[in-house]
Homo-oligomer: A and B are copies of this chain.
Amino acid sequence: MNDFKVTAETIDLALFRATMQDVSCGAYVQFDGWVRDHNEGQKVLRLEYEVYEPLAVKEGERILAEARERFGVSRTAVIHRSGLMELSDTAVVVGVASPHRDEAFEACRYIIDQVKVRLPIWKKEHYASGHAEWVNCQRCAQHKQERGARD
Which A residues are within 8 Å of any B CB, using their own CB? Answer: 13-14, 17, 21-38, 87-88, 97, 99-102, 104-105, 108-109, 112, 139
Contacts and interface: CB of A to CB of B under 8 A. Distances in A.
Instruction: Identify the 3 closest CB pairs spanning chains A and B, nearest first.
Output: A26-B36, A28-B32, A30-B30
A20 B38 CA distance: 18
A99 B112 CA distance: 15
A37 B17 contact: no
A17, A35, A139: which has the most chain B beta carbons within 10 Å? A17
A139 B104 CA distance: 14
A109 B106 CA distance: 10
Contact of A36 (B23, B33, B105): B23
A29 B30 CA distance: 6
Given A22-B34, A26-B34, A27-B33, 5 more contacts: A13-B14, A28-B33, A29-B32, A102-B139, A105-B108
